[in-house]
Structure 1
Protein backbone atom coordinates (compact mmCIF):
# COMPACT_ATOMS: atom_id res chain seq x y z
CA UNK A 1 0.00 0.00 0.00
CA UNK A 2 2.87 2.37 0.79
CA UNK A 3 3.96 2.26 -2.85
CA UNK A 4 0.59 3.63 -3.87
CA UNK A 5 0.76 6.74 -1.73
CA UNK A 6 2.23 9.04 -4.36
CA UNK A 7 -0.56 7.95 -6.69
CA UNK A 8 -3.33 8.22 -4.13
CA UNK A 9 -2.15 11.36 -2.40
CA UNK A 10 -3.03 14.16 -4.79
CA UNK A 11 -0.55 16.41 -3.04
CA UNK A 12 1.22 19.35 -4.63
CA UNK A 13 4.57 17.62 -4.24
CA UNK A 14 5.69 14.02 -3.81
CA UNK A 15 9.41 14.73 -4.00
CA UNK A 16 11.86 16.80 -2.04
CA UNK A 17 12.15 20.40 -3.17
CA UNK A 18 13.17 22.36 -0.11
CA UNK A 19 14.96 21.36 3.04
CA UNK A 20 14.76 24.42 5.28
CA UNK A 21 12.88 22.78 8.14
CA UNK A 22 14.39 19.39 7.35
CA UNK A 23 17.90 20.83 7.75
CA UNK A 24 16.93 22.60 10.96
CA UNK A 25 15.39 19.43 12.37
CA UNK A 26 18.42 17.33 11.44
CA UNK A 27 20.85 19.83 12.91
CA UNK A 28 18.99 20.39 16.17
CA UNK A 29 17.63 16.83 16.43
CA UNK A 30 14.44 18.49 17.57
CA UNK A 31 11.09 19.43 16.06
CA UNK A 32 8.94 22.32 17.29
CA UNK A 33 5.17 21.79 17.35
CA UNK A 34 2.89 24.83 17.69
CA UNK A 35 -0.37 24.18 19.50
CA UNK A 36 -3.36 25.97 21.00
CA UNK A 37 -4.38 26.51 24.61
CA UNK A 38 -8.08 25.75 24.77
CA UNK A 39 -9.53 24.45 21.49
CA UNK A 40 -11.11 21.23 22.69
CA UNK A 41 -10.89 18.60 21.36
CA UNK A 42 -8.49 19.57 18.58
CA UNK A 43 -5.62 21.20 20.45
CA UNK A 44 -5.56 22.21 24.10
CA UNK A 45 -3.68 21.98 27.38
CA UNK A 46 -4.68 19.13 29.67
CA UNK A 47 -4.81 19.56 33.43
CA UNK A 48 -1.10 18.69 33.61
CA UNK A 49 -0.36 21.43 31.00
CA UNK A 50 0.52 18.84 28.37
CA UNK A 51 -0.68 19.68 24.82
CA UNK A 52 -3.30 17.11 23.80
CA UNK A 53 -6.13 16.66 21.32
CA UNK A 54 -7.16 15.23 17.99
CA UNK A 55 -4.71 17.42 16.06
CA UNK A 56 -1.88 16.56 18.46
CA UNK A 57 -2.54 12.82 18.03
CA UNK A 58 -2.38 13.23 14.25
CA UNK A 59 0.85 15.21 14.60
CA UNK A 60 2.32 12.56 16.89
CA UNK A 61 1.90 10.03 14.08
CA UNK A 62 3.49 12.49 11.66
CA UNK A 63 6.48 12.97 13.97
CA UNK A 64 6.99 9.20 14.17
CA UNK A 65 7.18 9.08 10.37
CA UNK A 66 9.60 12.03 10.32
CA UNK A 67 11.82 10.09 12.73
CA UNK A 68 11.84 7.10 10.38
CA UNK A 69 12.27 9.06 7.16
CA UNK A 70 15.13 11.19 8.53
CA UNK A 71 16.63 8.30 10.53
CA UNK A 72 16.39 10.27 13.77
CA UNK A 73 15.02 7.77 16.33
CA UNK A 74 15.92 10.08 19.23
CA UNK A 75 14.25 13.16 17.72
CA UNK A 76 13.12 15.49 20.48
CA UNK A 77 9.85 17.42 20.52
CA UNK A 78 9.38 20.97 21.79
CA UNK A 79 6.00 22.68 22.05
CA UNK A 80 5.15 26.30 21.32
CA UNK A 81 1.87 27.79 22.54
CA UNK A 82 0.21 30.01 19.91
CA UNK A 83 -3.12 31.77 19.49
CA UNK A 84 -5.13 32.93 16.48
CA UNK A 85 -2.87 35.95 16.04
CA UNK A 86 0.54 34.36 16.58
CA UNK A 87 0.12 31.03 14.79
CA UNK A 88 1.05 32.22 11.26
CA UNK A 89 4.12 34.23 12.38
CA UNK A 90 5.31 31.21 14.37
CA UNK A 91 5.56 29.31 11.08
CA UNK A 92 6.69 32.12 8.75
CA UNK A 93 9.41 33.21 11.19
CA UNK A 94 10.66 29.65 11.66
CA UNK A 95 9.89 29.41 15.38
CA UNK A 96 7.79 26.28 14.80
CA UNK A 97 8.09 23.53 12.20
CA UNK A 98 4.47 22.34 12.32
CA UNK A 99 1.31 23.96 13.65
CA UNK A 100 -1.07 21.36 15.04
CA UNK A 101 -4.14 23.31 16.05
CA UNK A 102 -7.31 24.25 14.27
CA UNK A 103 -6.10 26.39 11.39
CA UNK A 104 -8.09 26.41 8.16
CA UNK A 105 -6.35 26.12 4.82
CA UNK A 106 -7.55 29.23 2.98
CA UNK A 107 -6.42 30.82 -0.27
CA UNK A 108 -5.20 33.91 1.60
CA UNK A 109 -3.13 31.92 4.09
CA UNK A 110 -1.70 29.68 1.38
CA UNK A 111 0.01 32.77 -0.04
CA UNK A 112 2.43 32.76 2.90
CA UNK A 113 2.33 29.22 4.38
CA UNK A 114 1.63 25.68 3.26
CA UNK A 115 -0.90 23.13 4.48
CA UNK A 116 -1.07 19.37 4.65
CA UNK A 117 -3.91 17.15 3.56
CA UNK A 118 -6.86 18.30 5.74
CA UNK A 119 -7.58 16.12 8.78
CA UNK A 120 -10.84 17.85 9.71
CA UNK A 121 -13.67 19.84 8.09
CA UNK A 122 -15.38 22.54 10.10
CA UNK A 123 -18.31 24.89 9.57
CA UNK A 124 -19.11 28.45 10.66
CA UNK A 125 -22.09 28.89 13.01
CA UNK A 126 -22.94 31.07 16.01
CA UNK A 127 -23.56 30.75 19.75
CA UNK A 128 -26.16 32.60 21.83
CA UNK A 129 -27.80 32.30 25.23
CA UNK A 130 -30.49 29.64 25.64
CA UNK A 131 -33.22 32.29 25.93
CA UNK A 132 -32.19 34.06 22.70
CA UNK A 133 -34.76 34.26 19.90
CA UNK A 134 -31.99 34.19 17.28
CA UNK A 135 -32.20 30.95 15.31
CA UNK A 136 -30.53 31.59 11.97
CA UNK A 137 -28.40 34.12 10.12
CA UNK A 138 -31.36 36.04 8.71
CA UNK A 139 -32.35 36.85 12.31
CA UNK A 140 -29.18 38.89 12.85
CA UNK A 141 -30.19 42.53 12.63
CA UNK A 142 -28.05 45.14 14.41
CA UNK A 143 -26.93 42.63 17.06
CA UNK A 144 -23.60 42.93 18.87
CA UNK A 145 -21.51 40.23 17.21
CA UNK A 146 -18.18 38.93 18.48
CA UNK A 147 -15.45 37.15 16.51
CA UNK A 148 -11.90 36.12 17.38
CA UNK A 149 -9.23 38.30 15.80
CA UNK A 150 -7.49 36.45 12.98
CA UNK A 151 -10.25 33.86 12.53
CA UNK A 152 -12.17 33.26 9.30
CA UNK A 153 -15.54 34.18 10.83
CA UNK A 154 -15.53 37.80 9.64
CA UNK A 155 -14.83 36.79 6.04
CA UNK A 156 -17.51 34.08 6.19
CA UNK A 157 -20.16 36.58 7.33
CA UNK A 158 -19.09 39.27 4.89
CA UNK A 159 -19.21 36.87 1.96
CA UNK A 160 -22.58 35.36 2.87
CA UNK A 161 -25.61 36.68 1.01
CA UNK A 162 -27.77 35.65 3.97
CA UNK A 163 -26.38 38.31 6.32
CA UNK A 164 -26.74 42.09 6.24
CA UNK A 165 -23.14 42.50 7.35
CA UNK A 166 -23.20 46.31 7.46
CA UNK A 167 -25.99 46.33 10.04
CA UNK A 168 -24.01 44.33 12.59
CA UNK A 169 -22.02 45.84 15.44
CA UNK A 170 -18.84 43.79 15.14
CA UNK A 171 -16.16 43.48 17.83
CA UNK A 172 -13.08 41.27 18.17
CA UNK A 173 -11.73 39.16 21.01
CA UNK A 174 -8.00 38.58 21.32
CA UNK A 175 -8.49 34.81 21.65
CA UNK A 176 -11.13 32.21 22.49
CA UNK A 177 -10.62 32.55 26.25
CA UNK A 178 -11.22 36.30 25.93
CA UNK A 179 -14.28 35.59 23.78
CA UNK A 180 -15.81 33.40 26.48
CA UNK A 181 -15.23 36.09 29.11
CA UNK A 182 -16.90 38.75 26.95
CA UNK A 183 -19.80 36.45 26.11
CA UNK A 184 -20.42 35.43 29.72
CA UNK A 185 -20.31 39.08 30.80
CA UNK A 186 -23.19 39.84 28.42
CA UNK A 187 -21.19 42.42 26.45
CA UNK A 188 -22.26 40.88 23.12
CA UNK A 189 -25.33 39.07 21.80
CA UNK A 190 -23.73 36.60 19.40
CA UNK A 191 -20.39 34.84 19.07
CA UNK A 192 -19.52 33.64 15.55
CA UNK A 193 -16.85 30.98 15.03
CA UNK A 194 -16.28 27.53 13.61
CA UNK A 195 -18.42 24.78 15.07
CA UNK A 196 -15.63 23.12 17.04
CA UNK A 197 -14.55 26.38 18.67
CA UNK A 198 -18.16 26.96 19.71
CA UNK A 199 -18.52 23.43 21.08
CA UNK A 200 -15.23 23.84 22.92
CA UNK A 201 -16.23 27.13 24.53
CA UNK A 202 -19.63 25.79 25.46
CA UNK A 203 -18.11 22.76 27.19
CA UNK A 204 -15.53 24.85 29.08
CA UNK A 205 -18.00 27.50 30.18
CA UNK A 206 -18.91 27.60 33.86
CA UNK A 207 -22.54 27.30 32.71
CA UNK A 208 -22.51 25.12 29.56
CA UNK A 209 -26.29 24.64 29.60
CA UNK A 210 -26.78 28.41 29.32
CA UNK A 211 -25.63 28.42 25.69
CA UNK A 212 -26.77 26.97 22.38
CA UNK A 213 -25.13 26.73 18.96
CA UNK A 214 -27.39 27.92 16.16
CA UNK A 215 -27.45 28.80 12.46
CA UNK A 216 -26.93 26.78 9.33
CA UNK A 217 -23.35 26.50 8.13
CA UNK A 218 -22.33 29.51 6.02
CA UNK A 219 -18.78 28.37 5.33
CA UNK A 220 -16.79 25.14 5.27
CA UNK A 221 -13.22 25.12 6.54
CA UNK A 222 -10.61 22.48 5.77
CA UNK A 223 -8.32 22.30 8.79
CA UNK A 224 -4.83 20.95 8.35
CA UNK A 225 -1.28 20.98 9.66
CA UNK A 226 0.35 24.31 8.80
CA UNK A 227 4.01 24.45 7.79
CA UNK A 228 6.46 26.70 5.95
CA UNK A 229 5.64 27.85 2.43
CA UNK A 230 8.87 26.42 1.01
CA UNK A 231 9.05 23.32 3.21
CA UNK A 232 7.98 20.99 0.42
CA UNK A 233 10.19 18.10 1.51
CA UNK A 234 8.67 18.18 4.98
CA UNK A 235 5.18 18.54 3.53
CA UNK A 236 5.69 15.41 1.43
CA UNK A 237 6.46 13.41 4.58
CA UNK A 238 3.51 14.92 6.47
CA UNK A 239 1.08 14.22 3.63
CA UNK A 240 2.31 10.67 3.24
CA UNK A 241 1.56 9.90 6.88
CA UNK A 242 -1.86 11.58 6.90
CA UNK A 243 -2.76 9.61 3.77
CA UNK A 244 -1.69 6.40 5.52
CA UNK A 245 -3.84 7.23 8.55
CA UNK A 246 -6.82 7.77 6.27
CA UNK A 247 -6.36 4.77 4.01
CA UNK A 248 -5.56 2.35 6.84
CA UNK A 249 -8.55 3.48 8.90
CA UNK A 250 -6.40 4.68 11.78
CA UNK A 251 -7.76 8.22 11.55
CA UNK A 252 -11.23 6.83 12.28
CA UNK A 253 -9.96 5.53 15.63
CA UNK A 254 -8.31 8.84 16.49
CA UNK A 255 -11.49 10.70 15.55
CA UNK A 256 -13.65 8.39 17.65
CA UNK A 257 -11.39 8.92 20.67
CA UNK A 258 -11.80 12.71 20.63
CA UNK A 259 -15.26 13.31 19.18
CA UNK A 260 -17.39 10.30 20.13
CA UNK A 261 -16.05 9.27 23.51
CA UNK A 262 -15.65 11.13 26.81
CA UNK A 263 -12.56 13.31 26.66
CA UNK A 264 -9.57 11.67 28.38
CA UNK A 265 -9.34 14.35 31.08
CA UNK A 266 -13.02 14.26 32.00
CA UNK A 267 -14.09 17.42 30.18
CA UNK A 268 -17.28 16.03 28.80
CA UNK A 269 -18.26 14.41 25.52
CA UNK A 270 -18.93 16.15 22.20
CA UNK A 271 -20.69 13.23 20.49
CA UNK A 272 -19.99 14.72 17.05
CA UNK A 273 -20.08 12.09 14.26
CA UNK A 274 -17.57 12.39 11.45
CA UNK A 275 -18.82 14.69 8.69
CA UNK A 276 -19.57 13.42 5.21
CA UNK A 277 -16.83 15.70 3.84
CA UNK A 278 -14.11 14.15 5.98
CA UNK A 279 -15.38 10.62 5.48
CA UNK A 280 -15.51 11.12 1.71
CA UNK A 281 -12.10 12.83 1.55
CA UNK A 282 -10.48 9.82 3.20
CA UNK A 283 -11.22 7.70 0.13
CA UNK A 284 -8.72 9.69 -1.98
CA UNK A 285 -6.63 11.94 0.32
CA UNK A 286 -5.78 15.28 -1.25
CA UNK A 287 -4.42 18.66 -0.17
CA UNK A 288 -6.54 20.40 -2.81
CA UNK A 289 -8.98 22.74 -1.08
CA UNK A 290 -11.73 24.62 -2.91
CA UNK A 291 -12.29 27.24 -0.23
Structure 2
Protein backbone atom coordinates (compact mmCIF):
# COMPACT_ATOMS: atom_id res chain seq x y z
CA UNK A 1 0.00 0.00 0.00
CA UNK A 2 1.35 3.42 -0.91
CA UNK A 3 2.08 6.10 1.68
CA UNK A 4 -0.84 8.10 0.26
CA UNK A 5 -3.21 5.18 0.86
CA UNK A 6 -1.84 4.65 4.37
CA UNK A 7 -2.46 8.29 5.23
CA UNK A 8 -5.98 8.13 3.81
CA UNK A 9 -6.84 5.06 5.91
CA UNK A 10 -5.38 6.68 9.01
CA UNK A 11 -7.43 9.81 8.40
CA UNK A 12 -10.65 7.81 8.06
CA UNK A 13 -9.89 5.84 11.24
CA UNK A 14 -9.11 9.00 13.15
CA UNK A 15 -12.33 10.64 11.99
CA UNK A 16 -14.33 7.59 13.03
CA UNK A 17 -12.84 7.75 16.53
CA UNK A 18 -13.03 11.53 16.85
CA UNK A 19 -16.59 12.17 15.68
CA UNK A 20 -18.52 10.68 18.65
CA UNK A 21 -16.07 12.16 21.12
CA UNK A 22 -16.58 15.57 19.58
CA UNK A 23 -20.34 15.13 19.68
CA UNK A 24 -20.22 14.17 23.37
CA UNK A 25 -18.09 17.21 24.10
CA UNK A 26 -20.68 19.43 22.47
CA UNK A 27 -23.85 17.89 23.90
CA UNK A 28 -24.26 17.26 27.63
CA UNK A 29 -26.48 14.45 28.90
CA UNK A 30 -26.72 14.82 32.66
CA UNK A 31 -29.53 12.28 33.06
CA UNK A 32 -27.54 9.60 31.21
CA UNK A 33 -24.52 10.32 33.41
CA UNK A 34 -26.61 10.08 36.58
CA UNK A 35 -28.17 6.81 35.46
CA UNK A 36 -24.77 5.34 34.64
CA UNK A 37 -23.03 6.40 37.86
CA UNK A 38 -25.86 6.39 40.41
CA UNK A 39 -24.32 9.51 41.92
CA UNK A 40 -25.40 13.16 41.74
CA UNK A 41 -22.97 15.88 42.78
CA UNK A 42 -24.49 19.11 44.06
CA UNK A 43 -22.30 22.20 44.00
CA UNK A 44 -22.89 24.12 47.24
CA UNK A 45 -21.51 27.18 48.99
CA UNK A 46 -20.09 27.41 52.49
CA UNK A 47 -21.48 30.86 53.25
CA UNK A 48 -23.91 32.17 50.61
CA UNK A 49 -26.44 33.43 53.13
CA UNK A 50 -29.56 31.32 53.36
CA UNK A 51 -29.40 30.30 49.70
CA UNK A 52 -26.67 27.75 50.41
CA UNK A 53 -24.48 27.25 53.47
CA UNK A 54 -22.73 24.64 55.59
CA UNK A 55 -24.60 23.14 58.54
CA UNK A 56 -21.59 21.23 59.85
CA UNK A 57 -20.59 17.58 59.65
CA UNK A 58 -20.51 17.76 55.84
CA UNK A 59 -24.16 18.73 55.52
CA UNK A 60 -25.61 21.73 53.66
CA UNK A 61 -28.90 23.57 53.66
CA UNK A 62 -30.59 26.62 52.22
CA UNK A 63 -33.28 27.80 49.86
CA UNK A 64 -31.50 26.73 46.68
CA UNK A 65 -30.24 23.50 48.24
CA UNK A 66 -33.86 22.53 48.98
CA UNK A 67 -34.98 23.41 45.44
CA UNK A 68 -32.13 21.32 44.04
CA UNK A 69 -33.23 18.37 46.17
CA UNK A 70 -36.63 18.56 44.44
CA UNK A 71 -34.88 18.60 41.04
CA UNK A 72 -32.83 15.55 42.05
CA UNK A 73 -35.97 13.72 43.24
CA UNK A 74 -37.52 14.26 39.79
CA UNK A 75 -34.29 13.16 38.13
CA UNK A 76 -34.50 9.90 40.08
CA UNK A 77 -38.03 9.36 38.75
CA UNK A 78 -36.89 10.14 35.20
CA UNK A 79 -34.00 7.64 35.22
CA UNK A 80 -35.75 5.02 37.35
CA UNK A 81 -33.13 4.69 40.10
CA UNK A 82 -32.12 6.22 43.42
CA UNK A 83 -29.10 8.51 43.45
CA UNK A 84 -26.39 8.96 46.03
CA UNK A 85 -26.17 12.69 46.82
CA UNK A 86 -22.70 14.13 47.21
CA UNK A 87 -22.03 17.74 48.19
CA UNK A 88 -19.05 19.56 46.69
CA UNK A 89 -18.28 23.10 47.94
CA UNK A 90 -17.54 25.55 45.12
CA UNK A 91 -16.37 29.16 45.19
CA UNK A 92 -17.19 32.34 43.31
CA UNK A 93 -14.03 31.79 41.28
CA UNK A 94 -14.48 28.15 40.21
CA UNK A 95 -18.24 27.49 40.20
CA UNK A 96 -18.83 28.10 36.47
CA UNK A 97 -15.90 25.90 35.46
CA UNK A 98 -17.03 23.13 37.84
CA UNK A 99 -20.44 23.08 36.12
CA UNK A 100 -19.01 23.45 32.62
CA UNK A 101 -16.65 20.48 32.96
CA UNK A 102 -19.23 18.27 34.71
CA UNK A 103 -17.48 18.11 38.08
CA UNK A 104 -20.80 19.12 39.63
CA UNK A 105 -24.14 18.18 38.07
CA UNK A 106 -25.95 21.27 39.31
CA UNK A 107 -24.78 24.30 41.27
CA UNK A 108 -27.12 25.36 44.05
CA UNK A 109 -25.63 28.53 45.47
CA UNK A 110 -25.99 32.26 44.92
CA UNK A 111 -24.99 32.62 41.28
CA UNK A 112 -26.21 35.56 39.22
CA UNK A 113 -27.49 34.72 35.75
CA UNK A 114 -25.50 36.89 33.32
CA UNK A 115 -25.07 36.99 29.56
CA UNK A 116 -21.38 36.17 29.95
CA UNK A 117 -22.09 33.08 32.05
CA UNK A 118 -24.80 31.93 29.65
CA UNK A 119 -22.03 31.36 27.09
CA UNK A 120 -20.66 28.58 29.30
CA UNK A 121 -23.57 27.22 31.36
CA UNK A 122 -27.36 27.08 31.49
CA UNK A 123 -29.65 28.42 34.19
CA UNK A 124 -32.95 27.27 35.64
CA UNK A 125 -35.68 29.92 35.98
CA UNK A 126 -34.87 32.66 38.46
CA UNK A 127 -36.01 31.74 41.96
CA UNK A 128 -34.60 34.73 43.84
CA UNK A 129 -33.97 38.33 42.82
CA UNK A 130 -31.21 39.96 44.83
CA UNK A 131 -30.53 43.60 45.65
CA UNK A 132 -26.86 44.46 46.15
CA UNK A 133 -26.20 46.74 49.12
CA UNK A 134 -23.54 47.79 51.63
CA UNK A 135 -22.90 46.44 55.13
CA UNK A 136 -21.07 48.82 57.48
CA UNK A 137 -20.42 49.30 61.16
CA UNK A 138 -23.44 50.92 62.79
CA UNK A 139 -21.32 53.84 64.07
CA UNK A 140 -19.31 54.37 60.86
CA UNK A 141 -21.33 57.34 59.59
CA UNK A 142 -21.70 55.66 56.18
CA UNK A 143 -25.20 55.89 54.70
CA UNK A 144 -24.52 55.23 51.01
CA UNK A 145 -21.79 54.65 48.44
CA UNK A 146 -21.38 58.44 48.25
CA UNK A 147 -19.77 58.31 51.73
CA UNK A 148 -17.05 55.85 50.73
CA UNK A 149 -14.43 58.37 49.58
CA UNK A 150 -11.06 57.35 51.02
CA UNK A 151 -12.53 54.21 52.61
CA UNK A 152 -11.67 50.53 52.22
CA UNK A 153 -14.44 48.45 50.62
CA UNK A 154 -14.55 44.66 50.61
CA UNK A 155 -16.29 42.31 48.23
CA UNK A 156 -15.84 38.66 47.21
CA UNK A 157 -13.38 37.69 44.52
CA UNK A 158 -15.05 36.30 41.39
CA UNK A 159 -18.52 37.69 42.17
CA UNK A 160 -20.57 40.07 40.04
CA UNK A 161 -20.38 42.52 42.93
CA UNK A 162 -16.81 43.35 41.89
CA UNK A 163 -18.11 44.89 38.65
CA UNK A 164 -20.97 46.56 40.53
CA UNK A 165 -18.52 48.13 42.95
CA UNK A 166 -16.37 49.61 40.20
CA UNK A 167 -19.33 50.78 38.12
CA UNK A 168 -20.88 52.56 41.08
CA UNK A 169 -17.56 54.16 42.00
CA UNK A 170 -17.28 55.65 38.53
CA UNK A 171 -20.91 56.77 38.55
CA UNK A 172 -20.61 58.58 41.86
CA UNK A 173 -17.05 59.86 41.38
CA UNK A 174 -15.77 58.39 44.65
CA UNK A 175 -12.36 56.84 45.13
CA UNK A 176 -11.77 54.03 47.62
CA UNK A 177 -9.50 51.06 48.12
CA UNK A 178 -10.77 47.61 47.11
CA UNK A 179 -10.00 44.49 49.13
CA UNK A 180 -11.22 40.98 48.35
CA UNK A 181 -12.26 37.97 50.36
CA UNK A 182 -11.98 34.51 48.87
CA UNK A 183 -15.54 33.76 49.99
CA UNK A 184 -18.36 35.70 51.61
CA UNK A 185 -17.37 34.73 55.16
CA UNK A 186 -13.84 35.97 54.46
CA UNK A 187 -15.19 39.25 53.06
CA UNK A 188 -17.39 39.83 56.12
CA UNK A 189 -14.42 39.10 58.36
CA UNK A 190 -12.58 41.97 56.65
CA UNK A 191 -15.40 44.28 57.82
CA UNK A 192 -15.77 42.68 61.25
CA UNK A 193 -12.04 42.88 61.97
CA UNK A 194 -11.80 46.53 60.91
CA UNK A 195 -9.71 45.87 57.82
CA UNK A 196 -12.57 47.19 55.66
CA UNK A 197 -15.04 50.03 56.22
CA UNK A 198 -17.80 48.44 54.14
CA UNK A 199 -18.72 45.12 52.52
CA UNK A 200 -20.64 45.25 49.23
CA UNK A 201 -22.64 42.10 48.45
CA UNK A 202 -26.10 40.58 48.02
CA UNK A 203 -28.44 41.92 50.69
CA UNK A 204 -29.50 38.55 52.07
CA UNK A 205 -25.88 37.44 52.37
CA UNK A 206 -25.09 40.62 54.31
CA UNK A 207 -28.12 40.09 56.57
CA UNK A 208 -27.14 36.48 57.26
CA UNK A 209 -23.56 37.31 58.19
CA UNK A 210 -24.66 40.16 60.43
CA UNK A 211 -27.15 37.87 62.18
CA UNK A 212 -24.35 35.35 62.80
CA UNK A 213 -21.78 37.94 63.93
CA UNK A 214 -20.44 37.99 67.49
CA UNK A 215 -22.21 41.32 68.00
CA UNK A 216 -24.97 41.78 65.35
CA UNK A 217 -25.96 45.21 66.71
CA UNK A 218 -22.55 46.54 65.64
CA UNK A 219 -23.46 46.27 61.94
CA UNK A 220 -26.19 47.39 59.56
CA UNK A 221 -27.13 47.31 55.88
CA UNK A 222 -27.36 50.79 54.36
CA UNK A 223 -28.04 52.69 51.18
CA UNK A 224 -30.04 52.17 48.05
CA UNK A 225 -29.98 48.98 45.99
CA UNK A 226 -26.82 49.27 43.87
CA UNK A 227 -27.80 46.47 41.51
CA UNK A 228 -30.67 44.03 40.97
CA UNK A 229 -29.60 40.50 40.08
CA UNK A 230 -31.53 37.32 39.16
CA UNK A 231 -30.11 34.38 41.13
CA UNK A 232 -30.59 30.91 39.69
CA UNK A 233 -29.43 27.30 39.75
CA UNK A 234 -26.76 26.35 37.18
CA UNK A 235 -26.17 23.21 35.16
CA UNK A 236 -24.43 22.21 31.94
CA UNK A 237 -25.21 24.03 28.72
CA UNK A 238 -26.86 22.34 25.72
CA UNK A 239 -28.66 19.73 27.85
CA UNK A 240 -32.29 20.19 26.82
CA UNK A 241 -33.58 17.19 28.77
CA UNK A 242 -32.08 18.25 32.10
CA UNK A 243 -33.08 21.88 31.61
CA UNK A 244 -36.66 20.82 30.95
CA UNK A 245 -36.64 18.68 34.09
CA UNK A 246 -35.26 21.55 36.20
CA UNK A 247 -37.65 24.10 34.67
CA UNK A 248 -40.65 21.80 35.11
CA UNK A 249 -39.68 21.09 38.72
CA UNK A 250 -39.53 24.76 39.61
CA UNK A 251 -42.72 25.49 37.72
CA UNK A 252 -44.44 22.72 39.69
CA UNK A 253 -43.15 24.10 43.00
CA UNK A 254 -44.46 27.55 42.08
CA UNK A 255 -47.87 26.30 40.96
CA UNK A 256 -48.39 24.21 44.11
CA UNK A 257 -47.29 27.02 46.44
CA UNK A 258 -44.34 24.93 47.66
CA UNK A 259 -41.77 27.43 46.34
CA UNK A 260 -43.13 30.14 48.65
CA UNK A 261 -43.10 27.68 51.56
CA UNK A 262 -39.44 26.85 50.92
CA UNK A 263 -38.67 30.57 50.83
CA UNK A 264 -40.50 31.11 54.13
CA UNK A 265 -38.61 28.20 55.73
CA UNK A 266 -35.21 29.80 55.10
CA UNK A 267 -35.78 33.56 54.90
CA UNK A 268 -38.50 34.08 57.51
CA UNK A 269 -38.44 31.24 60.05
CA UNK A 270 -35.64 30.32 62.48
CA UNK A 271 -32.94 28.30 60.72
CA UNK A 272 -30.21 25.88 61.84
CA UNK A 273 -27.71 25.56 63.30
CA UNK A 274 -28.11 28.61 65.56
CA UNK A 275 -31.87 29.14 65.11
CA UNK A 276 -31.36 32.69 63.87
CA UNK A 277 -34.25 34.41 62.12
CA UNK A 278 -33.67 36.78 59.20
CA UNK A 279 -37.34 37.77 58.84
CA UNK A 280 -36.84 38.75 55.20
CA UNK A 281 -40.16 38.69 53.36
CA UNK A 282 -40.02 38.06 49.63
CA UNK A 283 -39.48 41.28 47.68
CA UNK A 284 -41.79 42.43 44.91
CA UNK A 285 -39.02 41.57 42.42
CA UNK A 286 -38.75 38.00 43.68
CA UNK A 287 -42.53 37.56 43.67
CA UNK A 288 -42.64 38.85 40.10
CA UNK A 289 -39.95 36.31 39.13
CA UNK A 290 -42.08 33.51 40.59
CA UNK A 291 -45.19 34.69 38.76
CA UNK A 292 -43.43 34.97 35.40
CA UNK A 293 -40.76 32.25 35.62
CA UNK A 294 -37.94 32.86 33.14
CA UNK A 295 -34.17 32.52 32.75
CA UNK A 296 -33.44 36.07 31.63
CA UNK A 297 -29.95 37.39 32.51
CA UNK A 298 -29.06 40.26 34.80
CA UNK A 299 -28.69 42.61 31.85
CA UNK A 300 -32.47 42.42 31.31
CA UNK A 301 -32.96 43.65 34.89
CA UNK A 302 -30.66 46.64 34.47
CA UNK A 303 -32.14 50.01 35.30
CA UNK A 304 -32.90 52.02 32.20
Same fold (TM over 0.5): yes
- Is the Cα contact below 8 Å between 2:113 and 2:296 reproduced in 1? no
Structure 2 CA distance, aligned partners of 1:283 and 1:265?
A: 31
Are 2:115 and 1:107 equivalent residues in the alignment?
yes
Structure 2 CA distance, aligned partners of 1:164 and 1:111?
A: 32
State the Cα deviation string for residues 220-269 of structure 1 (Å, max 9, x = none). Answer: 11111111122222111101101111122110111111111111433410
Unmatched 5+ stretches in structure 2: 1-25
TM-score, normalising length: structure 2: 0.85
- Give the structure with the larger helix fraction: 2
Structure number with the bigger relative contact order (C-alpha 8 A, sep ≥ 6) is 1
Select between 45-54 and 254-263 the one with higher mean Cα deviation.
45-54
Name 1:94's counterpart in structure 2.
102
Are 2:66 and 1:57 equivalent residues in the alignment?
yes
Structure 1 CA distance, aligned partners of 2:94 and 2:229?
A: 19
Structure 1 CA distance, aligned partners of 2:121 and 2:78?
A: 23
Correspondent of 2:154 among 146, 150, 162? 146
Structure 1 CA distance, aligned partners of 2:138 and 2:60?
A: 31
Count of paired positions: 273
Unmatched 5+ stretches in structure 1: 1-16
CA drift of 1:62 comes to: 0.8
Are 2:292 and 1:284 equivalent residues in the alignment?
yes
Name 2:21's counterpart in structure 1.
none
Structure 2 CA distance, aligned partners of 1:19 and 1:86?
A: 19
Select between 155-164 and 107-116 the one with higher mean Cα deviation.
155-164
Pairing of 1:1-291 with structure 2 (within 5 A): 18-72=27-81, 74-160=82-168, 162-164=171-173, 167-289=175-297, 290-291=300-301
CA drift of 1:19 comes to: 4.3
Larger Rg: 2
Cα-Cα RMSD = 1.7
- Is the Cα contact below 8 Å between 1:137 and 1:162 reproduced in 2? no
CA drift of 1:162 comes to: 4.4
